[in-house]
A and B are shown apart, each in its own frame.
Chain A
């Protein structure tokens, strides 16, 4: 009996010792010498591995930033400037101040604004629906509402509104990783400056058709009339392919363009309510932030 016990103890101990030696040798042989800063930087990152920086994940980002010591090209949109400042401090560099960004949905073609012309019946994928046809509203640029952006979002920051059938971005949850921008087959979603107090003005349409056909499919489409371009005092609005675009770098958020838009395609978010003027076109105007995101 004692002998058995002894034998078991000895053999197990021997296995333990031999394994330890092997593990030690292997660890020495395959040791990877890494800059300790990588670990420190990786620690500072949010750890979401969302790929918003354009690299494979937070670890890859840390490796890259330590290797290049160049902050101008790399930015973690999720962590924002506070994280970048901390990383800069670790690396002994100065972080550039980057404005916080947010995803913006540039389509307001709800069933009400863009009535259904055909019924789509097929795989629940925007990418497929886009390849198949112009979509249920007939607008070749409009939101298909099948939620590829929702699937792509790792932060639960975007959902399809049951009322409008359009995606809605949550101001609090969106970290501007850009996954939805890539996922949308029609590039309806754009990364824009988050703006002071979350205030933003943008053209909620990307239809490049001429006024007539655009309007035929959707009552709130940009018809390329150019009124907003004339109205803007800061040269922030450009007109390309019958479509107005507001440059968020130049825009001073003066709100003068929105009222002149005949279709209400220019949306303003999170501003205090305007004083009602009689006779102003109300159609398609977005007063609730929910409807546009």
Chain B
């Protein structure tokens, strides 16, 4: 007989693991991966491949030679960061910039804090924002979408994102209606399906929502952050739109254009950098929603999702200590 094991209770354990959660997120991203390849061709695949490989490589190097600890590149977290980083950049980005972004994401965004679980900010967003500030030209020249097998050359022509069109137009003194009437404007359906300029992963709301449904069904994410994020963004932008529809974009367009859906479901819900209690998550989502619209409407950048989430990430420890779950037996009700 082999030796008996002695351990504290419980002696059974759920099937879900960090690995299964991470690969679940990867599976949820597959529809968006296909859409990006469909519209941006092999260039999209190239960016994703470089990003993923670079993230895995940097994680491996740092764990093996700098930390000299166990190597955990197969837990899927670097894979998720790699894909998310690729999702957040244009498909014509030079390889060396992608690799730099991966180094910042993994090296500064994650490993410098102690690896998975210790990072206060979403690593992919850290990398993305670093690139956006360091290489503004490369990071904001978006190729126009061109369906696979369709006419034309991918990546040859670039154009602004939907939100960029709005920003330029509004700054030039046009009204929202005039902008939306212009022939180069993608429109609601194209924004929903993905036929718009933009970062590779954010273009198709429908593909991202498909992934989100999968994550809900696997219980990888809960409703709290997405609902409060979208709810706040819709309410806030809706109020502005009702006040002055000529100068403020309507809430539906806010949702479909830019990285809102990607940010809400795939980056704001990042477990590590979001609050732990449900109450805290609602506050986190509301804050991010508010900030996103604030930046989009009054900020220098047309898009505000990344900044909004990063700012709220910084508040996460504070939210965690301020919003405790309801303790059992704290409020006595008898009935």
- Whether A132 and B3, one on each chain, are in contact in the complex, defined by CB atoms closer than 8 angstroms, is no
Set of chain A residues within 8 Å of B150, measured between Cβ atoms:
none
> Quick one: which of A103-142 are within 8 Å of B by CB?
116-123, 128, 132-133, 136
- Whether B3 and A120, one on each chain, are in contact in the complex, defined by CB atoms closer than 8 angstroms, is no
Which of A116, A118, A136 neighbours the largest number of chain B CB atoms within 10 Å of its CB? A118
Set of chain B residues within 8 Å of A136, measured between Cβ atoms:
6
B4 at the A interface (CB under 8 A): yes
- Whether A118 and B8, one on each chain, are in contact in the complex, defined by CB atoms closer than 8 angstroms, is no
B17 at the A interface (CB under 8 A): no
With both beta carbons as reference points, the residue of chain B lying nearest to A134 in the complex is identified as B6
Interface flags, A135-152, vs B, CB<8A=1, else 0: 010000000000000000
Closest CB in chain B relative to A127 CB, distance in Å: 12
- Whether A133 and B6, one on each chain, are in contact in the complex, defined by CB atoms closer than 8 angstroms, is yes
Report the separation of the CA atoms of residues A117 and B6 in the bound assembly, to the nearest whole angstrom.
10
Closest CB in chain B relative to A123 CB, distance in Å: 8
A-B contacts, CB under 8 A, total? 25
| Chain B: interface size category | under 10
- Whether A117 and B3, one on each chain, are in contact in the complex, defined by CB atoms closer than 8 angstroms, is yes
Set of chain A residues within 8 Å of B3, measured between Cβ atoms:
116-119
- Whether A128 and B4, one on each chain, are in contact in the complex, defined by CB atoms closer than 8 angstroms, is no
Interface flags, A20-37, vs B, CB<8A=1, else 0: 000000000000000000
Report the separation of the CA atoms of residues A122 and B8 in the bound assembly, to the nearest whole angstrom.
7
Which of B3, B4, B5, B6 neighbours the largest number of chain A CB atoms within 10 Å of its CB? B6
Set of chain A residues within 8 Å of B14, measured between Cβ atoms:
none
Set of chain B residues within 8 Å of A133, measured between Cβ atoms:
6
Report the separation of the CA atoms of residues A121 and B3 in the bound assembly, to the nearest whole angstrom.
12
Set of chain B residues within 8 Å of A116, measured between Cβ atoms:
3
Report the separation of the CA atoms of residues A136 and B7 in the bound assembly, to the nearest whole angstrom.
11
Interface flags, B5-30, vs A, CB<8A=1, else 0: 11110000000000000000000000
Chain A positions within 8 Å of B, measured between CB atoms, are 116-123, 128, 132-133, 136
24 A-B Cβ contacts within 8 A? A116-B3, A117-B3, A118-B3, A118-B4, A118-B5, A118-B6, A119-B3, A119-B4, A119-B5, A119-B6, A120-B6, A120-B7, A121-B5, A121-B6, A121-B7, A122-B7, A122-B8, A123-B8, A128-B8, A132-B6, A132-B7, A132-B8, A133-B6, A136-B6
Beyond A119-B6, A133-B6: 11 further Cβ-contacts under 8 Å? A117-B3, A118-B4, A118-B5, A118-B6, A119-B3, A119-B4, A119-B5, A120-B5, A120-B7, A121-B7, A132-B8
